[in-house]
Copies of this chain bind each other. A is one copy, B any other.
Amino acid sequence: MLSPFVGQALISTDVAVLGVHLDESLFPLEDLGFKAVASAVSDLAAMGGRPRGAVIAVSSPPGTDLEELHRGIADAAVITSCPIVGGDLTRGRDVSVAVTVFGECPDKGAVLRSGARPGEKILVTGPLGRSAAGLRRRRAGASLTDELVVAHRRPWPRLAEGVAARGAGVSAMMDLSDGVGIDLHRLADASHVGFELWEIPVAEGATLDEAIGGGEDYELLMVTPDVDRLMMVFADRGLRLPREIGVVVADVTRRTLRGEAFERRGWQHQL
């Protein structure tokens, strides 16, 4: 049980499966737990909400190191201030972690991806491609504590940024879980608009391909009629200033990066 919710209640669910969302030959099992929680919490961040708690349903074969899995879950719960309030545990052949996070939007309603209007500016909370670059580096032998590898292992939901953006009146928002190359199209589809991009900010150590098509960065994509206000609110709260990357246009078929067609491409889960 929980005390009454404040304002609008939010809920999000995510399932992470070992071998699909995490390569167990490269990463410890705890990363699966961490990423499952972080991914679900990030959905709330993208609505400008804050988490109140989460429940976890785990299935795993006998012999699975559940303590290690739970360590990753607990780490993510701590950094996102999202207490784990319940769960279920059963046997299965896969190790799978289903996380359901519930939360609230205290003042105004949640921000959706469907509210973008022509003329508004498109911004992101940070440079992209860190997670994909970390995965590439790990495959090439980098240590688990390499900075980009850590970015892949420990994605950081942009909760403070989401709340700030909601307060600053953004019209649409989503988290970049599958890469801007597919997620921006989703936002544009939901808002029935097109876009013109002038840059994709590439993280240090990442390639442009990784910045566009790599998933799991969990930076926020924001659309606003008032960039100055957004910048001011971020600055006031001591948050890294977002980067303006483009503009929303009315023509739903117009989707460009520096005048060239910006094709839909992004990360897809593979078995």
Interface residues of chain A, those whose CB is within 8 Å of chain B, are 1-5, 7-17, 19-21, 47, 53, 55-59, 61-62, 85-88, 90-94, 96, 98-100, 102, 105, 109-110, 269-271
- Assembled-state Cα–Cα distance A210/B8 (Å): 45
What B residues does A86 contact at CB under 8 A?
Answer: 11-13
Q: Cβ of A270: which chain B residues have Cβ within 8 Å of it?
A: 91
| Residue of A13, A87, A110 contacting most chain B CB atoms (<10 Å) | A13
A55 to chain B, nearest CB (A): 4
| Number of copies of chain A assembled together | 2
Residues of the B chain whose Cβ atoms lie less than 8 Å from the Cβ of A3: 8-9
Interface centre among A92, A99, A109 (most CB of B within 10 A): A92
Q: Within the complex, which residue of B87, B99, B269 is in contact with A91, where a contact is CB–CB below 8 Å?
A: B269
The chain B residue sitting closest to A270, CB to CB, is: B91
Q: Which residues of B contact A53 (CB under 8 A)?
A: 11
> How would you classify the secondary structure of chain A's contact residues: helix, strand, loop or mixed?
strand
A–B Cβ pairs within 8 angstroms, 29 of them? A1-B9, A1-B110, A2-B9, A3-B9, A4-B5, A4-B8, A5-B5, A9-B9, A11-B55, A11-B85, A11-B86, A11-B102, A13-B86, A13-B100, A14-B88, A15-B58, A17-B91, A17-B92, A19-B93, A20-B59, A20-B90, A55-B100, A57-B57, A91-B270, A93-B93, A94-B94, A96-B96, A96-B98, A98-B98
Q: Could you list 5 further interchain pairs (A-B, Cβ under 8 angstroms) beyond the known A1-B47, A11-B102, A92-B94?
A: A11-B86, A15-B59, A20-B92, A91-B271, A98-B100
List chain B residues, Cβ under 8 A from A17. 59, 90-92
Inside 8 A of A12's CB, which chain B residues have their CB? 55, 86
